[in-house]
Structure 1
Amino acid sequence: MNRKGIIKFFSYKLLRFIILMIAVAIFSFILLDLSPINPVTVYLKGAAVSEAQRTILNQYFGVGVPLHIKIYHWLLNLIQGDLGTSLIYRAPVIDVITQKFIASLALMTLSWIFSGIIGFALGVVAGKNKGSWIDKAVKVYCYAIQSAPSFWVGMLILMVFAVYLGLFPIGFGVPIGVSSTDASFMDWASRLVLPTLTLSLVGLAPIAMYTRNELIQVLSSDYVLFAKSRGEKGWNLVKNHGIRNILLPAVTLQFLSFSELFGGAVLVEQVFSYPGIGQTAVAAGLQSDVPLFLGIVLFSAVFVFVGNLLADISYYFIDPRIKENEFND
Structure 2
Amino acid sequence: MTTLLFALSLISFWLISHSPIDPVQAYVGADMTRVSPEQREQIAAYWGLNKPMLEQFWIWLTSLLKGDLGTSLIYRSPVSSVIAERFMASVALMASAWLFSGIIGFSLGVLAAMKQRTWVDRLIKWYCLTLASTPTFWFGLLLLIVFSVWLGWFPIGLGTPAGTLSENVTLLDRIRHLILPALTLSVLGVANVALHTRQKLVGVLDSDYVYFAKAKGEKGFILFWRHGLRNVALPAISLHFASFGELFGGAVLAEQVFSYPGLGQATVQAGLQGDIPLLLGVVLFSAIFVFIGNVIADLLYNIIDPRMRKGETV
- Letter paired with 1:277: L
Which residue of 2 is the match for residue 209 of structure 1? 195
TM-score, structure 1 as length reference: 0.92
Q: Deviations over 1:101-159 (max 9, x none)?
A: 00100000011110001110001111000011111111001111111111111111111
- Aligned partner of residue 73 in structure 2, secondary structure: coil
What is the aligned length?
311
Which residue of 1 is the match for residue 282 of structure 2? 296
- Letter paired with 2:73: L
User: Is the CA contact (8 Å cut-off) linking 1:252 and 1:314 kept in structure 2?
Assistant: no
- Aligned partner of residue 154 in structure 2, secondary structure: coil
Shift of the alpha carbon at 1:31? 0.6
- Letter paired with 1:297: V
1:34 equivalenced with 2:29 (yes/no): no
1:322 equivalenced with 2:295 (yes/no): no
Among 88, 103, 110, the residue aligned to 2:89: 103
Q: Distance in 2 between matches of 1:46 and 1:88?
A: 14
- Aligned partner of residue 278 in structure 1, secondary structure: helix
1:66 equivalenced with 2:66 (yes/no): no
Task: Report the aligned-residue RMSD.
Answer: 1.5
Q: Distance in 1 between matches of 2:28 and 2:215?
A: 77
Q: Distance in 2 between matches of 1:216 and 1:195?
A: 33
Q: Distance in 2 between matches of 1:221 and 1:159?
A: 47
Which ranges of structure 2 fall in alignment gaps of 5 or more residues? none
- Letter paired with 1:270: Q
Shift of the alpha carbon at 1:73? 0.6
Among 205, 212, 223, the residue aligned to 1:219: 205
TM-score, structure 2 as length reference: 0.96
Shift of the alpha carbon at 1:323? 6.4
- Letter paired with 2:242: L
Q: Distance in 1 between matches of 2:164 and 2:122?
A: 46
1:53 equivalenced with 2:50 (yes/no): no
Q: Percent identity?
A: 52
Shift of the alpha carbon at 1:281? 0.2
Among 167, 182, 190, the residue aligned to 1:196: 182
Q: Distance in 2 between matches of 1:263 and 1:107?
A: 13
- Letter paired with 1:154: G
1:178-189 alignment, distance < 5 Å: 178-189=164-175
Which residue of 2 is the match for residue 177 of structure 1? 163
1:24 equivalenced with 2:8 (yes/no): yes
Which residue of 2 is the match for residue 282 of structure 1? 268
